[in-house]
Amino acid sequence: MHNYENGGAGQLPGEALTGAIQVEKYGPAMDLALHQAALSAQLGEVPVGAVVINDDGEVISQGRNRREELNDPTAHAEILALRSAGAQLGTSHLEGCTLVVTLEPCAMCAGAMLLARLKRVVFAAWEPKTGACGSQRDLVRDVRATHRLEVLAGLRQRQAQVLLEDFFAQRR
């Protein structure tokens, strides 16, 4: 069973999302991401939801896991939210934007976030097996990369954990 309470094997200072200002700023977007994750679970998909917001906190796009529905291994919530944001803004460069997601992104999604030139990623639960934003790998803050993202973790962590644990418990 996944331990979604992982503090991050490669945890760097400043990762923990603390303070009322941060929660106030990103909480509404995380609530939307959690709603998308719950919808994914209802439809038989791994419950992950993602939202792209601008610097003012305005929602640009939302996404949920749709791998099984689309028969597409790349149809992760993050990828779909980034694609939609690019279409909405008319650019592949999402500078100044933040991706808010219920689970730490994998390597594929971290790579897409770097290519999109996001400002930051905010996630709820750590992904101890495939996480690429601090737990197993830290691709988004690698000093060799031409772009790096700010990482904030732990917002609504318990809610995301419960969705994931319930989903996988029903399948075992």
Query: What are the tens digits of pLDDT across the range 90-125?
Result: 999 999 999 999 999 999 999 999 999 999 999 999
Query: Nearest CA to 164 among 139, 128, 138, 140?
Result: 128
Q: How many beta carbons lie within 10 A of that of residue 73, not counting itself?
A: 8
- Is 60 exceeded by the pLDDT of residue 72? yes
Kindly state the average pLDDT of the residues 27-35. Answer: 98
Q: How many structural domains comprise the chain?
A: 1
Pairing of strands 98-103, 150-153: unpaired
Facing residues of 120 across strands?
Answer: 98, 150
> Quick check: is 96 in a domain?
yes
> Quick check: is 98 in a domain?
yes
Query: Nearest CA to 15 among 116, 133, 132?
Result: 133
> Quick check: is 4 in a domain?
no
Tokens of 44: 């038989």
> What CATH number is attached to the domain comprising 154?
3.40.140.10
**What's the confidence (pLDDT) of residue 22?**
76
- Asked whether the CA dihedral 43, 99, 5, 106 is positive or negative, the reply is positive
Kindly state the average pLDDT of the residues 123-140. Answer: 94
> Quick check: is 170 in a domain?
no
Residue 135, CB-side half-sphere exposure with 13 Å CA sphere: 26
> Quick check: is 11 in a domain?
no
Residue 14, CB-side half-sphere exposure with 13 Å CA sphere: 7
Give the pLDDT band of residue 1 (cuts 50, 70, 90): very low
**What's the confidence (pLDDT) of residue 24?**
85
Is 76 flagged in the annotation as binding?
yes
- pTM, rounded to two decimals: 0.90
Is 106 flagged in the annotation as binding?
yes
Amino acid at 50: A
Residues recognised as catalytic: 78
**What's the confidence (pLDDT) of residue 19?**
56
Q: Residue 106: which domain range? A: 20-129+138-165
What's the CA gap between 120 and 52, in Å, rounded?
10
Give the pLDDT band of residue 2 (cuts 50, 70, 90): very low
- Lowest-confidence region among 6-10, 16-20, 47-51, 156-160: 6-10
- Is 60 exceeded by the pLDDT of residue 133? yes
- Lowest-confidence region among 3-7, 23-27, 40-44, 86-90: 3-7
Q: How confident is the model over 9-22, as pLDDT tens digits?
A: 444 434 555 455 67
> Quick check: is 9 in a domain?
no
> Quick check: is 112 in a domain?
yes
Is 2 flagged in the annotation as binding?
no
> Quick check: is 100 in a domain?
yes
Percent of the chain having pLDDT more than 70?
88
**What's the confidence (pLDDT) of residue 21?**
61
- Is 60 exceeded by the pLDDT of residue 51? yes
